[in-house]
Structure formats: C-alpha cells, structure tokens
C-alpha cells in the first residue's frame, strides 16, 4: 500500500489493553484530550487499503545469537512469505551478522550498549509504515505476525504480545514473578490495566515510534508501551506463546529488573507531568 496515511482520531485504548477479554474491534473511538493520537486508520473503515507484510519491518537487537538467529529469520520468512523486511542492529562477535545477511536481513553494526540502545536504532531505521519488534532468541512466536497485522488494520496503533496470559511456563520463575510485578506497578501508576509491560514482541505504526523521544535502555520495552498508552494511542494486548530461550541471556535478572522498575516509575511520572 502507499506511504500516505489518512489521519484520524484514534481511540484511547482504555478497553483494548484489557485484552484478551476485549475484542480487537471494540476499541473506544473517542478522541483523546491531549491530541497526540492522530494516526491512520487504514483498513478500519474501508477507506484505505489494508497493510500487508510488504509494509512491515521486523526489527531486533542481536548480540551473539548464532544459536537462534537462523530459526528466527526462517520463521519470519515462512510466516510472511518472504515479504517482511528484517533489520538487525548487531553487536555480535560471533557469526550472527553473517547468518542474518544470508537470510536477506539488513544488518546495522553497533557496539553493544544494551537492549534499548540497539532496539531504539532498530525501530527508527526502516521506513516501512509498520514496525514489529522481536528478540532474536527464538522465544517469540512469529506465527503471531498475521494476527498483529490484522489488529493494526483494525485500527490499533500498537499491538503488544502478552506472554503471561498463557502462563509463560518457559520463562524462568524469577522473571515471571518480576514481569507480573512490573505489570502491576505500571497499571497502578497509569490507572490502566496492562498485563505484560516488558514483552519484546510488538507491532507499532511508524508515527507512534517517530512521535516520541525514547529515553530508556534496559527499560525501553516498558517505555514503548507506557508512553503511547498514556498519550492516548490505541494500544492493544494480544496473548502470545513464549518459548524457552536458545543461547545465552544478555540480561542480568537483578540488575536488569531494577533498571526496568526504575524506568517504569520514571516514565509513568514523566507522562503524568506531561499531561498537566
Ligand atoms: N545489538 C545488541 N543487541 C542486544 C544487546 N543486549 C541484548 N540484545 C538483544 O536484545 C534481545 C533481548 O535480549 P535478551 O537476552 O533476550 O533479554 P531478555 O529477553 O530480557 O532475556 P531472556 O529471558 O534471556 O530472553 C536479544 O535479541 C539480544 O540479542 C546489546 O547490547 N546490543
Ligand atoms: Mg529474550
């Protein structure tokens, strides 16, 4: 479809973040008071063509993921029929970038500086209208890509994979507990129920990621949910499966968990102050 997007007011997402109980067509379509959520609704009202995988970039930070990257990129290729573009921001010292290029991915080299520094560059690099983030460790189901695209075409600005809905039994227990706690804290501070703030798998309309100045590193995933939600974008959670990681984790659970908790509090307070 064309690059031109039809602006129109988009719902606040009040109800939509309460998925899975909420149908994706049920988003509140009232205009929001801060005026931030002026985005496209292609495919929603029949006036625009629906986005296809030709409009999608799947982006990820990759850091020594040679055990998983071949599987992840083959899955993207299979599920999108080779039509989605893949962008990897890579800091590896192993064969990860070579494998990525063999699969046709665009590789941007970057010194390893943490998850958020890599993912921020990855989401801003492509120019396709829909950006999907993923980890490169084979934990996220690329099979969910069609459903994510469908939700965007139904009017969502951000579609966020909720790993905890199905139990996330493959996730280490400490991380699972932490993720429930992060969701509870964020829900309290936002006065809006969210279920999984730190998921790595989301789809975004390009305007959303371009409209906001992202500040967090380890906490970027939470920030990428909280700021759009608190600015009135239509954010919808969708349950996804979550698999055991291939290869070594890049995150220290204690240090990373503390950084994420701090990011959630900081970002929620900043967004509240911004509304005053
Ligand atoms: N380029 C780059 N990528 C990174 C960096 N740190 C993490 N990543 C990538 O970001 C993604 C998320 O990192 P993970 O180690 O999976 O972190 P996590 O999902 O919180 O932890 P797990 O539960 O072990 O999966 C992976 O694809 C990593 O390879 C970095 O400093 N640079
Ligand atoms: Mg991971």
How confident is the model over 122-135, as pLDDT tens digits?
999 999 999 999 99
Decide if 112 is inside a domain.
yes
Decide if 59 is inside a domain.
yes
Decide if 14 is inside a domain.
no
For ligand 1, atom 32, name the residue with the nearest CA: 112
Pairing state between β 38-40 and 7-9: antiparallel
For ligand 1, atom 24, name the residue with the nearest CA: 249
- Give the range of the structural domain holding residue 173, as residue numbers without chain letter: 53-275
CA of 142 to the centre of ligand 2 (A): 14
Mean pLDDT score of the chain: 87
Residues with CB under 6 A from ligand 1: 60-63, 65, 89-91, 110, 112-115, 118, 135-137, 139, 175, 200, 245, 249-251
Separation CA 128–CA 142 (nearest Å): 18
Please answer whether residues 154 and 24 qualify as being in contact, where contact means their C-beta atoms are separated by less than 8 angstroms: yes
Decide if 39 is inside a domain.
no
Decide if 96 is inside a domain.
yes
Decide if 239 is inside a domain.
yes
Find where tokens 């501070």 sit.
189
Task: Find all residues with CB under 8 Å of 203, minimum gap 6, and list them.
Answer: 56, 130, 131, 132, 148, 149, 151, 152, 156, 158, 159
pLDDT category at 82 given cuts 50, 70, 90 is: very high
Number of structural domains (the chain) is 1
pLDDT category at 152 given cuts 50, 70, 90 is: very high
Tell me, what CATH number does 270's domain have? 3.90.550.10
How confident is the model over 20-54, as pLDDT tens digits?
332 333 333 333 334 344 444 444 444 568 999 99
Separation CA 143–CA 103 (nearest Å): 18
CA of 247 to the centre of ligand 1 (A): 10
Is omega for the bond preceding 58 within 30 degrees of 0, making it cis? no
Decide if 194 is inside a domain.
yes
Decide if 35 is inside a domain.
no
CA of 75 to the centre of ligand 1 (A): 18
């Amino acid at each position: 479809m064309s690059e031109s997007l039809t602006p129109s007011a988009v719902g606040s997402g009040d109800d939509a973040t309460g998925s899975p109980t909420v149908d994706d067509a049920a988003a509140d379509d009232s205009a929001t008071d801060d005026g931030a959520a002026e985005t496209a609704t292609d495919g929603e009202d029949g006036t625009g063509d629906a986005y296809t995988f030709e409009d999608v970039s799947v982006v990820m930070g990759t850091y020594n993921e040679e055990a998983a990257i071949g599987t992840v990129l083959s899955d993207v290729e299979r599920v999108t029929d080779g039509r989605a573009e893949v962008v990897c921001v890579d800091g590896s010292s192993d064969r990860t970038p070579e494998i990525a290029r063999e699969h046709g991915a665009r590789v941007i080299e970057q010194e390893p500086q943490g998850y958020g520094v890599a993912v921020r560059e990855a989401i801003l690099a492509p120019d396709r209208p829909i950006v999907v983030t993923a980890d490169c460790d084979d934990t996220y189901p690329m099979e969910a890509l069609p459903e994510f695209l469908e939700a965007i075409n139904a009017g969502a600005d951000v579609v966020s994979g909720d790993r905890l809905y199905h139990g996330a039994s493959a996730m280490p227990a400490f991380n699972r507990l932490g993720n429930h706690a992060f969701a509870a804290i964020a829900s309290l501070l936002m006065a809006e129920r969210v279920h999984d703030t730190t998921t790595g798998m989301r789809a975004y309309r390009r305007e959303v990621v371009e409209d906001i100045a992202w500040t967090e590193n380890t906490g970027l995933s939470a920030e990428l949910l909280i700021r759009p939600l608190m600015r009135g974008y239509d954010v919808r959670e969708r349950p996804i499966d979550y698999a055991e990681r291939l290869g070594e984790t890049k995150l220290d659970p204690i240090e990373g968990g503390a950084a994420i908790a701090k990011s959630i509090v900081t970002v929620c307070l900043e967004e509240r102050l911004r509304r005053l």
